[in-house]
Structure 1
Amino acid sequence: MMRRETQMPETGNQKLVKKINKSIVLKMIRNQAPISRAAISQKAGLNRGTVSSLVSELIDEQLISESGMGESRGGRKPVILLFNQAAGHSIGIDLGVNYLLGVLTDLKGKVVEERKIEIHSLSAEEIISSIKSMIRELHKSAPESPNGTVGIGIGVPGIVNHEGEVLLAPNLMWDHIPLKKILEEEFSIPILIENEANAGAYGEKLYGAGKEQENLIYISAGIGIGAGLILNNELYRGLKGYSGEVGHMVIDVEGKHCRCGRQGCWELYASEQAILNEAHALGINEDSADPLTLEQLISLADKGHQEVIDLFIKTGKYLAVGILNMINTFNPEQVIIGNRMAMAEKWMKPVISETMKEQSKEFNQEGIDISFSKLATHSSPLGMAAFITENFLESGIAQIH
């Protein structure tokens, strides 16, 4: 009499191992496609049966696909696997002090759609309403895909805890705003709130100037200043996620008063707001009825306006002082200056290099690359979209309602 075998249910440990292996296989296909099952098995150290089973599941979930035959090294030609980057879309939004910039990306970070609006002196309620509208617009613009919109990431210029509450954003005048909770009441997909400089560092590491380095500092220089740290190829957030608030590093103990309650904070001297304040004090463009902007100052500098050029040079010197403090602390391979002040690279880069040579020892600068972001204001929203994509690929499938 033939014995009937009973299938044992998967234990919790088996499910966890399977999930980890599936994530490894998917990441390998995503990052190294076109690739065969055999190559995955060899590189990942998984047996072929496990790889074939996991690949079948990923094909059923439409996250990957088969495409033709690869080159044979003897025997049958292997079937090639491709990552389906159009299987879903991520929303990343950068909440600037005076703008909102949102992108919709596919699962490889390619921008499919973007939106930008200016925001000036709005209440928290008005800004959050604008964020909701931007999310709806970006979602509506998404092409059809098996998994729809897989999540929403918001980069905020302030201190954010692990629960997605904005504890303090001085330049927005936000104090304990439960942004994640508010958005979750309207959108039933994963939502992530992160410091915008952390997101910018991640965006630069994946898509920008930081691809080749394992240790880098990203300086987000906009209305305020923040920093994102990539240390040993990992984003460093600190004990509770509060790292990178370098805009409030004091560089003049008897200096200007800051909204944070201290005096002489770095961002009072080296930010977009700092240069706009200086320009106002000099009466630059005072005949215009519209508020002065960084773009106008750059246009004036391009036309040879010496007072404005001098302002960029002065700001660059102060920016160099703070960068030197961070280099002395972390000794990174690279410092990337990003966000809106990256638009002023033409006038600031020479003075930053000169100031650093004057104020530090040669050995302390050796091997350190000081560069400006090519992604500019897109570093943060791209980084936020990437966070969402990574979380989705590791945790499962969700759709927007």
Structure 2
Amino acid sequence: MALHGNRDRVVTTNRSVILDTLCHTDSLSRAQIAELTGIPLPTVHRLCTQLRKEGIIQESAKNRDGRGRPVRLLHLNPSFHAVLVVNVRGTAIDGAVVSLNDWILHEEHMPQPPEDDKGGTGSRIRAITAMARLLDRWAADRSIPCTGIGVAVPGIVQNDGMVTAASELGWNEVPLGDILRTADKGPVLVENNANAYAYGEVLAGAGKNHNPVVGYTIRHFGVGAGIVVDGCILRGSHGMAGEMGYTLTSRESLDNHYTYGGDLEWQISQISAVEDQPSKRSEETLIDLISLSIGDICLVADPEIIVLDIAPTLPGQRIREGIRRRLIGRIPHMPDLAATQLGRKAPLIGVGELISQQVRTAAFNV
């Protein structure tokens, strides 16, 4: 009996390794799977045949020419299992059903007017749970199993999902993780949305195949950054790594105290309060402020690339050129500055992958 149990565990482990490999790569041939995993090719053939019959993996319609006959490629069936992901912003909530191999299967968008703030924290949380229910209903209607909820928020996030200093939402000490766990949808993960954005760009955007990567977001009300080193998000001991809105911009900053947000965010918000479309002078001031912040993060993280997500109402190209012009010759090395390739999808993909990492083992071992 013990030998039989050991054999079952080996089969389960090999299945999981094959599926996990297909999650992290494009379509692969059976020979490539054997090479990447170290599992003997006959075992790969047998298990892949079983996984195809179960509908967990699929053969690609596309063939790759090899020596002799064409080679069939395999990929994970994106409808086999999925997670629910939500990105909370000041003016909107975005949601998606994301497969375990990071494909966005369905998206929803829910505007959140400023007057919604009158409802307080409860109003925003109700909107988050409503989005999760909407996504879950879409998946259920298509018989796609969903477990796990990942939520990205603009604030400092602790390991247990406690959100603090979320000035964009007016939140402080909100136990979002505990609130969402009452939905009984499996694992819950709450992540800072700048971190999720950076991680998404590393997985499938402008940051792919670069290391380290900084994802830097610029909005009228402030900035944020996510730092990814060796494929891992740098969070720091208090979850505040990359909180560039707290950058001190001058000696006078040391005399000020801020209830929500920091000096740089306050400075940027003052420019936006004066005019929605910055004048040439205020645009130059904005670029100066952001350049100081990016210079700081370059000296700390030494990124190979910084992927900038700049609000559509701001002059993105001029801001990128201005940052480069100001920093070249002022810091030892100027990283590449790239525009986001994924935009609003980046944090959805990023937090989707993070919650999928908690879901895959159980899903693959069924």
> Per the shorter chain, which TM-score range?
0.7 to 0.9
Task: Identify the match of residue 115 of structure 1 among 109, 113, 124.
Answer: 109
Closer, same or farther: CA 144–31 of 1 in aligned 2, 3 Å:
farther
1:258 deviates by 5.4
Q: Which residue in 1 is equivalent to 2:333?
A: 364
Percentage identity across paired residues of the two chains:
24
Residue pairs, 1:57-206, within 5 angstroms: 58-59=51-52, 61-66=54-59, 73=67, 80-106=73-99, 107-120=101-114, 121-122=117-118, 123-142=120-139, 144-145=141-142, 147-206=144-203
Output one character per residue of 1:323-355: Cα deviation in whole Å (capped at 9) or x when no partner. Answer: 001111121101112253685303322221221
1:259 deviates by 3.5
Closer, same or farther: CA 53–141 of 1 in aligned 2, 3 Å:
same
Task: Identify the match of residue 243 of structure 1 among 218, 241, 244.
Answer: 241
Output one character per residue of 1:158-179: Cα deviation in whole Å (capped at 9) or x when no partner. Answer: 1111111213323323222111
Larger radius of gyration, structure 1 or 2? 1
Matched to 1:8, the amino acid is L
Output one character per residue of 1:97-153: Cα deviation in whole Å (capped at 9) or x when no partner. Answer: 232222333444235222131242241101001111112222223375554223321
Partner Cα distance (1:332, 1:237) in 2 = 15
Q: Which residue in 2 is equivalent to 1:352?
A: 323
The reply to whether residue 28 of structure 1 matches residue 21 of structure 2 is yes
Partner Cα distance (2:50, 2:310) in 1 = 41
* SS of alignment partner, residue 92 of structure 1: strand
**RMSD, matched Cα:** 3.2
Q: Which residue in 2 is equivalent to 1:232?
A: 230
* SS of alignment partner, residue 189 of structure 1: coil
The reply to whether residue 266 of structure 1 matches residue 233 of structure 2 is no
Closer, same or farther: CA 67–252 of 1 in aligned 2, 3 Å:
closer
Contact 2:102 2:352 in 1 (8 A): no
Matched to 2:318, the amino acid is W
The reply to whether residue 209 of structure 1 matches residue 196 of structure 2 is no
Matched to 1:44, the amino acid is T
The reply to whether residue 393 of structure 1 matches residue 360 of structure 2 is yes
In the alignment, structure 2 segments of 5+ residues that lack a partner are none
Matched to 1:157, the amino acid is P
Closer, same or farther: CA 374–320 of 1 in aligned 2, 3 Å:
same
Residue pairs, 1:255-334, within 5 angstroms: 255=253, 257=256, 259-260=258-259, 265-270=263-268, 273-279=269-275, 297=277, 308-334=279-305
Matched to 1:43, the amino acid is L
Partner Cα distance (1:339, 1:134) in 2 = 25
* SS of alignment partner, residue 268 of structure 1: helix
Closer, same or farther: CA 82–329 of 1 in aligned 2, 3 Å:
closer
TM-score by length of 2: 0.84
Partner Cα distance (2:170, 2:337) in 1 = 32
Partner Cα distance (2:169, 2:160) in 1 = 19
Matched to 1:310, the amino acid is R
TM-score by length of 1: 0.77
Matched to 1:112, the amino acid is H
Q: Which residue in 2 is equivalent to 1:289?
A: none
1:72 deviates by 6.1
1:88 deviates by 3.1
1:237 deviates by 2.3
Contact 2:310 2:316 in 1 (8 A): no
* SS of alignment partner, residue 153 of structure 1: strand
Partner Cα distance (1:268, 1:240) in 2 = 22
Matched to 2:5, the amino acid is E
* SS of alignment partner, residue 228 of structure 1: strand
Closer, same or farther: CA 354–339 of 1 in aligned 2, 3 Å:
closer
Output one character per residue of 1:255-304: Cα deviation in whole Å (capped at 9) or x when no partner. Answer: 38454478x6222234xx3432232xxxxxxxxxxxxxx5xx3xxxxxxx
Partner Cα distance (2:98, 2:317) in 1 = 30
Closer, same or farther: CA 229–47 of 1 in aligned 2, 3 Å:
same
Matched to 1:246, the amino acid is M
Matched to 2:273, the amino acid is N
Contact 2:15 2:364 in 1 (8 A): no
